[in-house]
Chains A and B, each alone.
Chain A
Amino acid sequence: MTFIGMPRGTGNLTGAPFPEAASEALDNAQLRRNLAKATGTIRAKRAAVVDELPDWAALRAAGAAIKDDVLANLDTYLLRFEAALTERGSTVHWARDAEEATRIVTELVTATGAREVIKVKSMATAEIGLNEALAAAGVAAVETDLAELIVQLGHDRPSHILVPAIHRNRAEIREIFAEGMGATDLTDDPRVLAEAARAHLRRKFLTVDVAVSGANFAIAETGGLVVVESEGNGRMCLTLPRTLISVVGIEKIIPAWQDLEVFLQLLPRSSTGERMNPYTSVWTGPTEGQTSHVVLVDNGRTATLADPDGRAALRCIRCSACLNSCPVYERTGGHAYGSTYPGPIGAVLSPQLTGIDRNPTLPYASSLCGVCYDVCPVAIDIPSMLVHLRGRAPKPRAEAAAMRAAAWAMSDHRRWRRLLRAGRLGRALGRRPMLPPPLSAWTRARDLPEPPRQTFRDWWDTR
């Protein structure tokens, strides 16, 4: 159900058709090695810290229930959040879509006269294409998350929610840093690379006066925003500059402070495989001498909320466990999904936000193996949602005709048995026939089973 006027998601949410983009990525052996290694390590860490919690199932159910309550009462919670935050001295802005959100932020930044902003790692700003919009206005956005910095200096795109440079290995990172920072004395040692990034960023922290952040959670009761991170660079951005602009998807709401108890257990264990992440920053309105703006972004979320089969996607806390566990993601990497949100959740969320017509291939980018549902800390049944989305996806004509014919045969046993008997004639084709597309996709890499002399049912009748 979509109501007239409900904004659809715009910005960085679409790309080339998945099958073609995936084929290209699959040809990159280095990428596959990097991904297999990185996701394998993080999967093992996650499994260890999740298995040690006796009440994981209860925590997961609680996380899902809290988010479902938020989604059912989102209007109330958002207004409560706005009122609390306004009272604490922040200015709240509302943005329908990517264009409106980037325009608001760009105007706020240019009003300060700044030519540079420092950024806390944020999915929402990537989704709306903020860096590109700021660049067009002559403002440089500097990413301060180490992996985001690698992506930015490499003129690359993020390929993972949590580790945007997961497709890069150390040697590649050294080259990117050498080029991007003009550093000549680097080695592949992670400590050396981290030190180079630290020196580079320290200069920015001390000179840039505007920061842009996202938020992992927005607390309706208090107006508080929460950023969960590993490096502490986000905290530098949140505290040093005099202007802080936070871009927050409207589904990031949690009702109250105490709900963090649940999510701060679910999130780090699911994302980095840690019991607790090193830095959790919570701020409620501006600190003394600071100006704070919060931009609440819809960009297709209300439309997603209106869809009973799709709204659970808004529970997502962007932990990336589903990406790390997905056998498709592990082989294709994140770029193949063409959206800020890759992996299983991206295959659901991107078409939900943009509408299926702008993302028709993503719902099929899954073997429906179900491992994403198993690991999701807020129990999003991604496979079932993919199946629902497939129901709405535009279908190739020949496929639709074949499926209609098959359904006609399969809904009556006499027709079906006649078809199967005819199929035995396929014996003449042998095991490696040249089949027309799309069936040729099967025989490129696999032999066909030889059709038997007799179907099971014909055998049964002779017994």
Chain B
Amino acid sequence: MIGVCVVFTVYIAVIPLGFLLWQSFRTPQTADVPAIFTLENYIAAYGTADTLRLFWTSIRFAFGASVFAFTLGTVLAWMNERTNTPFKSVFYALSLIPLVIPSILFTVSWILLASPQIGIINLVLQGWLGLETAPFDIYSLGGMIWVDGLHYSPMAFLLMTAAFRAMDPSLEESATMSGANIFQVAWRVTLRLTWPAVVATILILFVRAIESFEVPALLGLPVGIEVFTSAIYQAVHRYPSRVGLASAYAVALLLITTIGVYSVSRLSSRGSKYATMTGKGFRPRQIDLGPWRWFTAAIFIVYFALIVLLPFAVLLWSSFQRFYAVPSMEALQNLTLDPYRFVFSYPNLGRTVWNSVLLSFGSATIVMLVTSVICWIVVKTKIRGRWILDNIASLPIVFPGLVLGLSIMVFYLNVDIGVYGTIWIMYIAYITRFMPYGLRYNTTSMLQIHQELEESAAMSGASWGTTFRRIILPLLKPGLLAGWIYVMIVSIRELSTSILLYSPDTQVISIVIWELWENGQYVELSALGVLFILALFVLVMVAQLIGRQYGVKEQRA
């Protein structure tokens, strides 16, 4: 059993990486010319000034999006944790909603809101202010940063909330007593003390932004702004496809993310330097903002409008149109259910939904079971070299979704064991991609199971298998369930890995949305998107309800 898990992990996490590297040194294989060793891909990828531009754009985009998301998330977290802004407990719950909305839908809805031609915000502002040209252009680097940063600000919000909560409030109170005002306390004490968390959060956001595919593809490609992910996609999707070139790009991207992830892990292992100096501090005092608290409440409301209400409203609007039209009295008369009819009569709808459900449930289950064994080996046994296993299983975290898709594609194109083009290749991709998350959930709960609980089972005569099944798994259950829910949700939204691996038979919902976008079927896309978001929302609610019954605590990867 242990052996099987180890082999499985190594197979799934290491081999694609090897093949990616290998492929990046090969020429394209055709029917009569076999592939040979070459450096040409690298020369093509890195030999031109274009690459420098690509690199520079990627960095600017990722940096901008991460800093924007961080600033937004931190200000909100601070307001939520440290001030007496009204309704903030409601806000904490609401802030999680945007994480449920798939990136592609969020991006599409912002196109509908702020594109220069049809963007509602632009048209409204032009009407009000009598402007000649649209004030906002979503198809720009700034637009990309805005959409991506906005969408991932809740992640910064959650991470920084945790950091603020972990801090001894008397450190801030003593600054107040020293005569410092709100801003001096926030700047000179709060922010400095959460510095390790600040850097880690920005790095995580940066890595995530540089992996981001939907936003650069939808907003950047139409106007020729390319980043690594969209360049990889372009290289694969041109004819003839240049997998070697894509691989060479992917290697660079992989390098960046690896450095990022490595720095984060270094940082969090060192981050405890300040943690030793906390007192009993159990009552974070809330700063009384006086009348300003209505202002901060207004910020919350505007933020919520930008991130949930407006995007959803515009999708909803467009989903009741025959052809996309900007809201107006006239358009109001043309409301129709056609897009929904279209969605429900979509030839492969049943199949697609079924694929999505099967994939997300299946990979969540396998991920959680396999990682629980890995985790047990790493945390509980004394097997030598077990840390290698831990690192291998965490390896996929550095893979951007698109790169992972690419390497798996390359591997199974070359090693024909009959999974290419089937749903199994999607399974493999999802499991690989989400294994690190499962691992993290399991490690957290595994660390809390005391060694003696197992030993006493062994003393009672239980075999290893029985102990694992009867003692460890039940104790892990809350953690397993929380992780399962998380993996299920991220898999059902998954797009960037699937996009290189799907075939007509193995389409999933997010792929259909992508295709509708490519075909310009905006209203149909909106209808499907609305249904998808609602379904995801219900799913999360149900999952939380079930989770609460099984004692799942608030926990995040």
Q: Do A and B come from one complex?
A: no
